[in-house]
Amino acid sequence: MTQRVELATVRDRLAVDDLITDYAVAVDDGDWEAYRGLFAPRGRADYRSAGGIEGEARAVAVWLAESLRLFPVRQHLIVNRRVRFGIREQDTGDTAEVRADYVNPMATTGPAPDFVCGGRYAFAVLRTGEGWRLSEVVVREKWRRLADPRTAPVVN
């Protein structure tokens, strides 16, 4: 591998990492316009394992906005990111898959209990004219725990 190819791979890896971080920030901040902008034109998201829906990213953004209204405090922690480039069928270096674990504490301001959940994301990523974009996000929730109201942190 030449030094130029290695540098391009590092740049791509950093761009894909930024995309995953931008995804977490958009969801946590409730910035649904930014969320939609992270997806390729026919991008899809699947939240069924967490009790949600599956579909085109625009429709899923509407569902997220409504369902997460109950939890104004969200903080995705996306870790253990494993990025693999060019593993899609007939790839020309313009696709990647990312597997990443997550922990997601969410807090309410109302009577519903706070909770934290965790699992693994599977992101399919595509290089477009606008840069790297999500073509698919699949959430695989592995666990969920309700907070004990006696020990739950105070939400400011």
User: Residue 110's pLDDT band (boundaries 50, 70, 90)?
Assistant: confident
* Mean pLDDT of the chain, nearest integer: 89
With respect to residue 78, please indicate whether it lies within any of the assigned structural domains: yes
Give the span between the Cα atoms of 34 and 30, in whole angstroms.
Answer: 9
Judged by average pLDDT, the poorest of 59-63, 121-125, 146-150 is 146-150
The more confidently predicted of residues 70 and 98 is: 98
How many domains does the chain contain in total? 1
Give the span between the Cα atoms of 143 and 50, in whole angstroms.
Answer: 9
Give the span between the Cα atoms of 141 and 62, in whole angstroms.
Answer: 20
Q: What is the CATH number of the domain that holds 137?
A: 3.10.450.50
Give the model's pLDDT for residue 89.
Answer: 58
With respect to residue 156, please indicate whether it lies within any of the assigned structural domains: no
Provide the domain limits for residue 97. Answer: 3-146
- 13's CB contacts (< 8 A; 6+ apart) are 83, 85
pLDDT tens per residue across span 15-66: 999 999 999 999 999 999 999 999 999 999 999 999 999 999 999 999 999 9
Give the model's pLDDT for residue 156.
Answer: 45
With respect to residue 70, please indicate whether it lies within any of the assigned structural domains: yes
With respect to residue 155, please indicate whether it lies within any of the assigned structural domains: no
Give the span between the Cα atoms of 106 and 146, in whole angstroms.
Answer: 10
Helix (H, G, I), strand (E, B) or coil at 109: coil
Q: What pTM did the predictor assign?
A: 0.88
